[in-house]
Amino acid sequence: MTTTTDPLVSTDWLAAHLDDPTVRILDASFKLPGVTPLPREDFLGAHIPGSAFFDVDVISDHGLSLPHMFPSEGHFAEGVGALSVSNAHTVVIYDAGGWVAGPRAWWMFLAFGHTDVRVLDGGLQKWRAEGRAIESGEVDPVPARYTASFDQGFVRSRQQVVANLDSRAAQLVDARPQPRFEGSVPEPRAGLRSGHIPGSRNVPYAKLFDAATGTMKPLGELRAAFKDAGVDLDRPIVTTCGSGVSALVLTLALYRLGVRGTALYDGSWADWGQADGPPVASGPA
C-alpha cells in the first residue's frame, strides 16, 4: 500500500487503518542510557492497539561494542519477521513523542529495502492527547517471513567520516543539543570526550518539531533551520548525533524537503568521541 510521498502519516490516517491487515504498527521508542522506566516497560503500560515493540538495541549488531549499530540482513529480517512484518506490509512506526527514535527505525527499513514505511506524526504523545484508544500488556505477534537487502549507501563508517575531514565532499550535520555539540557539557555516555566532529554543523533535532503537539514543523520552518545552520541542501549530507538515533530526525526532515541520498554516521559520537578517537572540535560551528 502506498499513501503519499510524505514519509509521515497522521493520527487520523492511522486510526482509520488500525484494522487494515496490510498495515503493521511498530513502537520504536528509545531513551538515553540510565533513563527509566525502560521503553519496553512503557510499551507494556500503554501502546497503540495492534502494535509491536521494535527494540533498536535488540535489532542491532551485538558483535560490536558500540550501541545499536546496524545489524546484518539476516538479523534484521529475523527481528522484524518476529514482529509479524512481511515485505508486503505497509509499516507505520511511532515513538513515545519527542521524535527520538521513530525515524531511526524508518531509516533502517529503508536501508534494508523496505520502501513502504511511514512515521506517525506526533507519535504516541499526539495519539493519547486526542483521547484515542490504547492497549497495555504483552503482545504475541504471529511471525512472518521477511527478506532484507541492505544498501550500504545509507550509512557511513568512522573511516569514511575521517576521510571526509580532508575532502569535505559531504556536510556533517549534528543533531545533538547545542551544549553537547559545543562541548560545554559532558556526554551522557561515560568515557566520551566532549565536542563535535571538525567542520560539522549543528541542527538540534528538537528544533524540528513542536514540543506542545509533538508534530513535525512545517516545511518552511524545517528549511530555515538547516539554512540558519549553514547547511546547503543541494550538497551531500551525512547526519550524526550521540549514537545514531536522533540524527535520523534530521534525515526525516531532509527527506520531507525532497533531499535524497543522505547517509547516517551509524557510530556517531559514541564512536568518534572515544578517548582514542579522531580529532575533536569545540565551541560554535
Grid cell digits, residue 277: 578517537
The confidence band for 112, taking pLDDT boundaries of 50, 70 and 90, is very high
Distance CA 205, CA 13 (A): 25
Distance CA 198, CA 46 (A): 42
The answer to whether residues 1 and 90 touch, using CB atoms and an 8 Å cutoff, is: yes
Task: Give the pLDDT score at 56.
Answer: 92
* CA-to-CA dists, residue 65 to 60, 242, 273, angstroms: 11, 15, 14
Position 1 pLDDT exceeds 70 = no
Question: What is the helix (H) or strand (E) element at residue 76, kind and residue range?
Answer: helix 73-81
Task: Give the pLDDT score at 31.
Answer: 87
Give the global pTM.
0.96
* CA-to-CA dists, residue 32 to 63, 72, 173, angstroms: 21, 24, 20
**E-assigned strand segments in the chain:** 8-9, 23-27, 51-53, 90-94, 117-120, 155-156, 171-174, 201-202, 237-240, 263-265
pLDDT, one tens digit per residue, over 119-128 is 999 999 999 9
pLDDT, one tens digit per residue, over 63-94 is 888 888 899 999 999 999 999 999 999 999 99
The confidence band for 202, taking pLDDT boundaries of 50, 70 and 90, is very high
Task: Give the pLDDT score at 2.
Answer: 32
* Beta bridge mates, 117: 91
Q: Is 231 exposed, middle or buried (0-12, 13-18, 19+ CB in 10 A)?
A: buried
Task: Give the pLDDT score at 4.
Answer: 44
Q: What is the mean pLDDT of the chain?
A: 95
Position 17 pLDDT exceeds 60 = yes
Q: What is the mean pLDDT of residues 205-210?
A: 96
The confidence band for 32, taking pLDDT boundaries of 50, 70 and 90, is confident
Distance CA 167, CA 178 (A): 25
Instruction: List the catalytic residues.
Output: 241
Q: Which domains does the chain have, with CATH numbers?
A: 8-150 (3.40.250.10), 153-272 (3.40.250.10)
Distance CA 10, CA 227 (A): 27
